[in-house]
Structure 1
Amino acid sequence: MTDAGPVLVVADDLTGANATAAALARAGMRAVTVADGERPAIVAEFVSRFDAVVISTNARHVPGADAAELVRRAVRSGWPTPLAANRIDSTLRGNVGPTTAALVAEVSAQSGRRAVALCVPAHPEAGRHTVGGVQLLGGRRLEETELAGDPRSPITHSEVATLFEGLRTTTIPLEIVTGPDDRLVAAFAAAVDGGTDVVVADALTTDNIARVARAATTVNDVTWVTVDPGPATVAMAAALGLHRTPDGAPLLAVSGSATSLTRDQLVRLRGEREVVVVRPALPADARVPDVDTTADRLATALESARPDQVVLLASVLDESDVTDVDHATAAAIPRALARAVRRALETHQVDAIFATGGDITASLFAELAAHGLDVEGEIEPLAVAGELVGGPWSGLPIATKGGLVGDTGTTVACIDHLRQAAETRRRRVHPAQSRQTAW
């Protein structure tokens, strides 16, 4: 994932969202679709976990002003992003013009830069092509197909530029798209210099689309957004060099246990694996960690840690950390640690979590809004591995054990198991369900 956040795609229906997410996944990204378009603020809960977030607004057949507002809200929820896209129907049905205008305006407002839309409606693998600014389905104009009789969105014409009423539009014809690179680059530069809002590009092949995307990125001082059924967004992401980090993210280990066995396990972990230690922030004369400061420390460590490292948040590392506390304080410490973990995870990605200590494990499940554990099995007796079920971190690998479980090598074994589980997970595209229920 890039430091600027994930690719953000706003689609007007769920099947289109799924298709675009699948295309981004094939390109090597970890992609997720968000089906609840009535609450696009949930996008914010996924931006730290995925390389591409595709939200369906289900707005193809709603009034244009309503569809535009849903796009603006989705962009605000997912910002910042290195690439925003308006996923449109390949047969041009729906609110293409209003949603494109909204995307251009919102990205410009959020970035503080001029935004220009690149519209490449061709989807060659699906038999959709654009020639002379006209969209073709199986070689026929759209209005010459059964789409003319669509009961909800009848198509009466195929000229792409006419969709963008109120926006300045430039069309780059196929002879330029397939011609010398310098002519294609010059065409984009001229369009941008001329004040265009939307560049519509012809395309017959996926190679045509890739050439168009590469040429667009040579133009400086603008932020490009894409308007297409998927292929151009994938091509633009490639042209911009956007891809997931192949080695993933660091692992997070959280220890709330004060047992001597746990301390010995953490000593061995630090001796045998690359570990970044984070200590809870304790206010003067207090034993309960300050959540805000601890979360900041943890977030800083996660941001700077390498993917092959373990970030360890531990309340007790050696005997000098062991103190007598009353019942209320003992209960408050794991809750504070778990709350700090949640806040850090809202902005930083981890590949898996290891938790040692029964109270900290329960507090983590509560703070991460997990409904339960999809149990894979035992790594060692009483050391259990699985994935979180429910909540915004659903599917995240986790291993848990009590403070008196195992021998000195058990924590290392759990970490090594989680690394393998995380690598397997990176190959999958996960559905996700947010715990957020309102704007």
Structure 2
Amino acid sequence: MFDPQVTVTALLGAGFLTTSAGLIAQSRGKRLLAARAASLEERRDAAAAHASALLAEVEHFAQATVPALVDVLARGHRGVRVPGLSQAQLAGTPVDQAHQAVARQLQEAITLTREQIGRAARSSVRDIIDEAQTRLHRCQLMVVQEMDRHPDGTVYHQSLMSLDHLVTQAAHTLQRTRILTGSWPGLQRADCTFREVVESARGRISDYLRVAYTYEPRTGETWLEGRVVEPVTVALTELLSNATAYSDGKVYVEVQPFQTGFCIVVDDGGVGMNDFQRREAARQLTQHEVLDVTTVRDTGQLGFAVIGRLAGEYGFAADVTSTSPYGGVRAVLRVPRDLFGNGPSDEEIEAERRAALTAATQSGPASAHAGDGHAPAVERAGTGSLPQRRRRAPRPAGPAGDGVPAPADDPDAFSAGLAYLGRTIHDTETHTREGDQPHD
């Protein structure tokens, strides 16, 4: 039958095999568990690192990215760099996409808010300026009426002329603000010559006596289209004001022809501008958008912004990057030929002459002037305004009993002629309100 020894050996071998198999299975299970534990630990570490990266990125977005966006979008700071992701591994992830969406919404919210505030502010400013301009115009009319009641050349008459000059400067300040708020200059002119434009701009600044205009008939008597007369005059006024404010001595003005138009050149002997100031000036002169009233820092330095706004609207250009022969700044106002005008017709000239003769006859001997029989070709410096009609009618002759003309260097005669010209300018000036602006 069965050998007991063989049977025992077989049983022991089977038990050993079973035990070995169990031990092997147990070892494999332990290794599997260890591998799973290591994998879980790696996943845990990875999850912790990812959570840490997300937390760091959220803090970076809140503490660095958003403040930079606010500086650029809301405060208008130039040169501020908006940082991107601080954790490169999050690029293209939903977190990155969500942050970009928040940045876009922040930009849209700030832009819409600024536009709403800007529109409301500009509208309010324009309404205030309209009323102020009307009152200043009435003040000028009252001054001129008072001047007509008193003899020319008296101290009181000269005081009235100085007062009129101050009112003109105040009106120009309101006008430049009106332009920066998106409105038109507020005055509509007839065709005028470049000479009249230069003289009018000179009459709107404080130090007008320091401005020396080199007159040449070829350029000075060239007509400028009425639609752009006031914008060009305002722009030139800003250049002259800037030149006289930052220099001593004379400021020289000359109208020079070039191939496609004329240049009004303003040279001063000031300290000039550094590279940063030139770049900033060039930026403002080419920035044609409406002034953002929510980001204005210095309201005293808006002259270049006024010029840039007008240049973009009416088609001329300005440049201040050149150096003057006198060591200061050379400012150039370029007016293309397509902005030139035709001047008055023969019928207009004749009608104006008759109207002037009629007015002179009615005014009596008090307004008579000696000389060559024609009004001076320059405006009164204190008026700062352009005439509505573009040529001066003959002046009335002197009294019948006065057979000797007044000498050219007679100060009383010169003052009387200047006052007469001032009355003519104010009597023929057209002031139209914003709602009456003609279409181009």
Based on CA coordinates, which of the two structures has the bigger radius of gyration?
Answer: 2
Q: Which has the larger strand fraction?
A: 1
Q: Which has the larger helix fraction?
A: 2
Which category of TM-score, normalised to the shorter sequence, fits these structures?
under 0.3
Report the TM-score, using the length of structure 2 for normalisation.
0.25
